[in-house]
Amino acid sequence: MKRVTVTGAGGFIGSHLVSRLKQEGCWVRGVDIKYPEFSKTDADEFEILDLRKRDDCLQAMRNVDTVFSLAANMGGIGWTHTAPAAIMHDNLLISTNTLEACRINEVENIFYASSACVYPNYLQETNDSPGLKEDKVFPADPDMEYGWEKLTSEILHGTYKKSYGLNIKIARFHNIYGPLGTYDGGREKSPAAICRKIAKIQGVEGIIDVWGDGTQARSYCYVDDCVEGCLRIMRSNLDRPINLGSDRMVTINELIDIVSEIAGKRVHRKYDLSKPVGPKGRNSDNTLIQELLGWAPSISLEAGLLETYKWISAQVNQF
Ligand code: NAD
């Protein structure tokens, strides 16, 4: 990895990844349809390009040996339920054109950011469901179109490996959170939304609305662990998709408890059962990453949420 393109570099994980790659001594081109919202990019070059377009992809992937493919039309459950057609349309175009541009430009290493959303509903029906193992993705039954699109893109990447011998790594991210992530506006995910709502409580006691009954459970991975995992996976000789997430599953109610404690606020909850909540319980099984990389995410939820809360609280209370 010497000359690297990061797509989605104006987004949450992409902007963290660019900074880390710079620290590792790489030359980095960031590509996105927008500049990072909350920080200045550390990229050597940042190009505004629309990766749904083939010519923009050819430009983005020129003269680099490595591509981290993170660009996607995505968001939390509110967004993925609202815009299924745009998600399918945009992301399948981005994946197809990015891969083809990598092939034409003879890119040596390709990383594709997939998602835990590829896993079937029937393995996630209770909030103590066992961790999801990589080989349990078929028979396929993802929860929503975003998951079907990620699974289709995984298969597409597999075909480029098979037909053209491209060196491709695929990681299935499980709920990545941290500073510099969207926390408002409809695309935010649960940790950011909860931090925002609690940060907005004036004084030491208040009420927040909660989507669902708060018993749905997820595992959450701090962004520094995610970026570390991306680099380790890219430098490995992995030949199949792998989970990149924490294997500590907590309910939304437990997540609220942790953030309330950090904030030093007494938080009452108003449950909104009309909102989408997704599968009842989703957790990462980290056996494979431990076995193959001798590593797994380890930053505690309490430590990660402390940093995230501090940052979101500073954002929402700055005016
Ligand atoms: P993000 O929305 O912050 O970043 C994605 C970036 O892609 C955005 O900056 C967006 O502007 C850009 N983009 C969208 N359409 C584009 C286009 N047509 N051309 C160029 N750029 C475009 O999301 P993120 O959380 O940083 O996620 C990064 C990747 O990881 C995505 O592929 C996402 O699906 C995947 N992922 C994230 C999570 C998570 O918890 N954050 C979980 C699973 C998978």
In ligand 1, the atom with minimum distance to the C-alpha of 14 is 26
Same domain? For 39 and 81 the reply is yes
Q: 205 CA to middle of ligand 1, Å?
A: 35
Contacts of range 103-107, beta carbons closer than 8 Å, 24 or more positions apart? 103/160, 103/164, 103/166, 104/58, 104/61, 105/58, 105/61, 105/62, 105/63, 105/64, 107/61, 107/64, 107/65, 107/66, 107/67, 107/166
C-alpha span between 202 and 207 (Å, rounded): 10
Q: Cα of 15 to ligand 1 centre, how many Å? A: 10
Distance 173 CA to ligand 1 centre (A): 11
Which segments in the chain show pLDDT lower than 50?
A: none
Q: Read off φ and ψ for residue 90, nearest 5 degrees.
A: -65, -45
Same domain, 124 and 200: no
H runs (alpha helix) in the chain: 12-23, 54-60, 77-82, 84-104, 145-164, 190-199, 223-235, 252-263, 287-293, 301-316
Q: Are residue 24 and residue 161 in the same domain, yes or no?
A: yes
Helix, strand, coil percentages (3-state) for the chain, rounded to 5, are 40, 20, 40
Residue 76 has a pLDDT of 84
Number of domains making up the chain? 2
Rounded Cα gap, residues 247 and 235, in angstroms: 23
Residues near ligand 1 (Cβ within 6 A): 8, 10-14, 32-34, 50-52, 70-74, 90, 94, 113, 115, 173, 175-176, 189
CA distances from 191 to 76, 87, 119, 184, 233 (A): 10, 22, 21, 11, 25
Identify the residue whose C-alpha is closest to ligand 1 atom 21: 32
For residues 208 and 231, membership in a common domain is answered with no
Residue 254, domain CATH:
3.90.25.10
Provide the CATH number for the domain around residue 22: 3.40.50.720
Whole-number Å distance, alpha carbon 189 to ligand 1 midpoint, is 12
Let me know whether 39 and 148 are in one domain.
yes
Hey, what's the torsion of the CAs at 282, 284, 287, 291, to 10 degrees? 160
User: Is residue 240 domain-resident?
Assistant: yes
pTM: 0.98
CA 277, CA 267: separation in Å to the nearest integer? 20
Domain holding 127, by residue range, is: 3-176+220-244
Q: Does residue 112 fall inside a structural domain? A: yes
User: Which amino acid type is present at position 317?
Assistant: N
pLDDT of residue 319: 60
Q: Are residues 211 and 229 in the same domain?
A: no
- Residue 250, strand partner residues: 218
CA distance linking residue 111 with residue 125, whole number of Å: 30
User: Hey, which of 13, 149, 223 would you mutate to test ligand 1's pocket, going by the most ligand atoms within 8 Å of its Cβ?
Assistant: 13
56 and 42 together in one domain: yes
**Structural domain includes residue 290:** no
Percent of the chain scoring above 90 in pLDDT: 95
The number of angstroms, rounded, from the C-alpha of 284 to the middle of its chain's C-alpha atoms is 14
Residue 124 shares a structural domain with residue 7: yes
Using DSSP bridges, classify how beta strands 217-219 and 249-251 pair: parallel, antiparallel or unpaired: antiparallel
Note whether residue 236 is domain-resident: yes
User: String of b and e for 241-257 (b: at least 16 CB within 10 Å)?
Assistant: bbbbbbbebbbbeebbe
